[in-house]
Amino acid sequence: MWRRQIIASIVLWLQTCSQSVTATLEDGKQKKNIRALDGVRALACLGVVSFHLNLWSYIGHIWVPALDNTGAMVSSLGLIGESGVLLFFVLSGFLLFLPYARAMLFGGDWPSLRRFYIRRVFRILPAYYVTLFLLLLYWSPEYLLPANRDKLWLFLTFRMDLPATYQQLNPPFWTLAIEFQFYLLLPLLAWVMRWLVRWGSLHFRVLKLTFCLLVLFAWGMATRYWGFKMADSNQLDFLIAHSVADGLRPFIFGTVGKFFESFAIGMLVCMVYVYCQQAPTIWKTRRVLARLAPFSFVLGLTLLCVVNLWHYYVIYMFTRSLHFLDPYQEFLQAYRDIFMQVGFSLSYGFCLFAILHGPRWLQRPFEWSPLRWLGFISFSLYMWHDTFVLYFLTTILPRFQVMNWSGPAKYSVYVLWLCVTAVPLSVIFYRRIELPGIRLGEKLCQLKFSWRKPVPIPVPTRESEEAPVAVLFTTTNQTL
């Protein structure tokens, strides 16, 4: 009996500690969010971290991936985290499109443009600029020289996806440029969609919004194909001059594309989610989706593993053992540049759809508190992990090579180093920089819209001059 009481007391204490940590990390709005998506965001970040960890350990000869048929299946899982970037894009498309999808399908107030930009700016810029300043000061001071002012300007204006700065200073930075540029364009894209979608019945609006999102997906695929296959060729000389194409390329393609196809997949999942949550007469459809969710999750994971294994063969084994594919090199290059991103994004779209519509047993693992904690600090951890990995390889690893340690021992110290450096720093960044920035943005939103409240106007009644004065208050309810 006393053992049960001790176990119950320990469980209660752990639950209390977990709730305390969660309350410390929440920004005050997390209760309104979909809790499982915090865990999904954490997995996306952990995937990118594991990819850089294993990639640099492969380059530093700590880990040697197998290249045979059986070992390649296992080794490919060590590099599957490369696709975590695409999961971030799918998540951003889903989360940021939510208020716009609700307004287009079910009416209500249109999300405020000023509120959207203020929140995005104060969510991203404080932590990014502090990280950039510290990296410039302690890691790459050469970017502060006059000869590199052009590159520094690209970092300051979120154009790190251009060839001049692509994967320089801090390799993960290029994805922040893609995200920030999507933030700038999303309100405009949503406004154009609203102009096309706002008429007709609910089902007709859903069809029109689906068409708009498919057009956005097609635009992403077309610009990706143009950037990789046609921009440097003579195939479009009869339509557009190369000088014009070169001028447009940084804005519509960059170096690796703008990933509109990935954002569009997240936005499609968002549209289905909003429709199923708020449409009043589709309870049977919800039941069907709940039953199909596990199959969608399995389909997403299967597609993810297949695409990742094929990607592993193309990138790491093509020039080594698969010589019979030499005649198809052009096709494989096109697959890697154009279709691989879509395969990963679709797989994550299926998984996200399953988590949103599935039963509780499918959602509960993603709501695990430690996983959500990593989701809270994922932005800072995403920006800082690669710097600590490179520092380990350049400064600490040579000492272990002198000691002649085994590969597993080196890898264990490698992971431990990242846990005791990047994770605590990310917690500090989140608590001291990200959260204050988020709260400041919320205060500015409230201050901005409080100025728009009109002064109460007394209106006399007609019944009697001695009657009390009626006061009319006209307010605007603008929420995001």
Residue with tokens 């996306």: 44
Dihedral through CA 33, CA 353, CA 258, CA 48, nearest 10?
80
**29 to 44, 270, 435, 479: CA distances (angstroms):** 21, 19, 11, 13
Instruction: Note the Cα 114 to chain centre separation in Å.
Output: 22
Q: Could you read off the pLDDT of 141-168 as tens digits, one per residue?
A: 999 999 999 999 999 999 999 998 999 9
Which pLDDT belongs to residue 323? 54
Mean pLDDT of the 87-112 span: 93
- Of residues 29 and 58, the one with the higher pLDDT is 58
- Cα–Cα distance for residue pair 54/411, rounded to 1 Å: 9
Which pLDDT belongs to residue 62? 79
Mean pLDDT of the 322-340 span: 66
For residues 213 and 264, the answer to whether their CB atoms sit within 8 Å is yes
Amino acid code (one letter) for 215: V
* Angle, alpha carbons 446-441-152 (nearest 5°): 150
Terminal Cα-to-Cα distance of the chain (whole angstroms)? 52
Q: How confident is the model at residue 366 (pLDDT cuts 50, 70, 90)?
A: very high
Mean pLDDT of the 453-474 span: 38
Residue 469 has pLDDT above 50, yes or no: no
Residue 116 has pLDDT above 80, yes or no: yes
Q: Could you read off the pLDDT of 403-446 as tens digits, one per residue?
A: 677 777 778 888 899 999 999 999 999 999 999 999 999 898 88
Mean pLDDT of the 188-214 span: 92
Highest mean pLDDT among 77-81, 176-180, 395-399: 176-180
Report the 10 Å Cβ neighbour count for 402. 7
Q: How confident is the model at residue 236 (pLDDT cuts 50, 70, 90)?
A: low
Instruction: Note the Cα 129 to chain centre separation in Å.
Output: 19
Which pLDDT belongs to residue 190? 95
Mean pLDDT of the 55-79 span: 78
* Angle, alpha carbons 69-349-303 (nearest 5°): 20
Q: Could you read off the pLDDT of 163-191 as tens digits, one per residue?
A: 989 999 999 999 999 999 999 999 999 99
- Of residues 286 and 320, the one with the higher pLDDT is 286
> DSSP labels for 230-268?
ITTSSTTTTTS-HHHHHHHHHHHTTTT---HHHHHHHHH
Q: Calculate the average pLDDT of the chain.
A: 82
**The dihedral of CA 166, 172, 177, 179: what is its sign?**
positive
| Angle in degrees, 0-180, between the axes of helices 35-59 and 340-357, rounded to the nearest 10 | 150
Residue 128 has pLDDT above 90, yes or no: yes
